[in-house]
Structures are given as structure tokens and as C-alpha cells.
Amino acid sequence: MSEERANLYQVYDYRNSARTVIINFKENSLEVKYFVKTEEDLKVFLENLDYYIEEIKNIKQHLKFKFITCRFDFGKQNISKEDMKKLIDFQHKAFDEITIQKIKGNNIFFQEMLSYAFENYELHISTLTDIKTDIQNLKETIEIIQNFIPSNSKWLYGRFDKYINNYRLIKEEIKHKNISIGLTACPKRYSVRDLQNEDVKNLSVSAIARSSVFSFDVCCLEYNPVLSRTKKIKFIPKTDIINPKRYVWEIDENKKNFVDERLNNFKKHNAMDLSQTATSRQREFQLVINHLSKLMDKSNQ
């Protein structure tokens, strides 16, 4: 069964909600995202690793997630081997999995860091690469992943129709090799214009990714909070509500219980019935699934 992974929105919402019975996080996993977009950000982060290790321990203790992993947003900077090894060592101390990220399409660096992790640790080791790359680079990445056989292979989201050939290769060359695949940094919505003379809007990206067309085992929405001038997460006047039967995002006014609503969205997203029997009953969803399936078949010709 595929899984919707929590991100830091769920952590903050859970902490701010008095109605903690809404979600039992013992059944869920969590992806923590760290923003280290500049050399100074990375320097400060590395100087405070003990703080972040303690923070993850507290999340485990109080929120009871069954599995916690992380990823880094490095921005446009280059990361040295020494600093990347420090981040790998940090993950070993704090998380249930070590994630090796490919930086700026550099497969040589990616392979070296995988070698370091596999040589030094027996913890679950996963990979994280950007799906938005050229085919030759992707094929080289897939070969590296096949050689190491990580616990799972995670990919940063790219629009389905634009990168359909990349998605096909991942499904054929990794998923079919019994390596679990995940899609992260997902936006909420996917829309297609002029599909059989109509615009299809607001379909759940996660539901599409976890459908039989793409077969991702795990999905996680992008965490990119809108901050106020005081660096606190802003109150947004509108809120998104998932309709799990139609697989679409709908908009409603934020109410006093908006935190509960967002927690409920996560619960409902995770419990979606994505069987072909269920999805075939929803015309808009099936239109898009058929469209993407045809594109995938065409890319294989």
C-alpha cells in the first residue's frame, strides 16, 4: 500500500492543535526538510548539529512517528565532500535513514557519497535525485542506484507530462527491480488544459503519483512555509481541503479549526482508495490518468 508522508506542516499543526486525537502518528512517517541555501546557512547548521539531533529525538518521543527521514535544500551552492560527509554522519545519529542527495547533476560526487555511506553505516540508505534532468544523466544515475541497491530511491517532483519519459525509466528500471520509489517536493495540484475539450483542474499530485500509472510507494508534499516579518508561519485566509473521493483539492475559508482541517487533509490523503476500481468512477481523474498513460506508452516507442 502506498503512503503519504508527513512534513513539518504536520509537526507544527499537531503541536498547535488541542485535538491531538485527530491523527495517530504511530502509523505515519515524516520527512524533515532543512534549508541550507547559502554557505553561511550551512556553516551555522553544522555548528548546531547537536541541537537538531535533540529536536528529532523530541519529535520521536512526543509525536511517535514510525519512521523519520530528511532532505536538504542546498540552493545553488556547491557542497564539499567533507561537509557532505558531516551531514551523512548527522543523519546516522538523528534519523531512521540516511539520504544521499545528488547535487547539481553530479553523478561522480553522488557515487562517492553513496560509497562513503555504504562503507560506514548499516542504517537504511536511500537516494534523492531531481527528476528534472536530461535522459543521459538520468540513465547514469539509475545505473548507480542499481549498483548500490538502496533501501529506496526518492525523486524531486517534475511535472508529469513534461518529464514523462523520465518517469517511465524510473518505473521500468528501478521500481521493477524491486527498489521502492518515492516522490517528494510535490505541489498539491495538477491541471491539464483542453483535455477532450475541457480543462481538468486541482487534481491531487500525490494521488496521480501513487496511481498504477506511476506506482510511487511514498509521496510527500513540498514544505515551503510562508513566513511573516517575525519569521512565524502566516495565517492564510483560505485553506485547501482534499476531497478524497474525487482526488481534488478544494478551497474553503479558514476557520478557527483550520489546523484540524489540515491535519484531517493529511489523514484523508493517506487513506485514499487508489485502486483502479475506485479511480475509474471519477471521470476527471480518469481522463488525466488515461492521458498520462498514453504519453508514457508513446515515450516507449
Query: Which of the residue ranges 115-124, 127-136, 162-171, 219-228 would you say has the lowest mean pLDDT?
Result: 219-228
168 has pLDDT over 80? yes
How many domains would you assign to the chain?
1
Contact 18, 55 (CB under 8 A): no
Yes or no: say if 263 and 13 are a contact pair by the CB < 8 Å rule.
yes
Percent of the chain having pLDDT more than 70?
A: 88
Q: What mean pLDDT comes out for the span 45-69?
A: 93
35 or 198: whose pLDDT is higher? 35
Q: Taking 50 as the threshold, does the pLDDT of residue 21 lie above it?
A: no
From CA 269, how far away is CA 251, in angstroms rounded?
16
**Nearest-angstrom CA–CA distance, 85 and 79:** 10
Residue 172: per-residue pLDDT: 93
Q: Which domain holds residue 173?
A: 3-299
Q: Around Cβ 118, how many Cβ atoms within 10 Å?
A: 15
pLDDT over threshold 80, residue 157: yes
CATH value at residue 183: 3.20.20
55-59, 83-87, 110-114, 232-236: which range is least confident on average? 232-236
Q: DSSP characters for 233-290?
A: BPPPSEEEEEETTTTEEEEEE--TTHHHHHHHHHHHHHT---SHHHHTT-HHHHHHHH
Residue-level pLDDT at 69: 97
Query: What contacts 155, CB < 8 A, 6 or more positions away?
Result: 128, 129, 130, 131, 170, 181, 182, 183, 184
Q: What is the mean pLDDT of residues 24-53?
A: 94
Q: Answer for the pair 181, 175: CB distance below 8 angstroms, yes or no.
A: yes
In this structure, are residues 52 and 33 in contact, taking their beta carbons and an 8 Å threshold? Answer: no
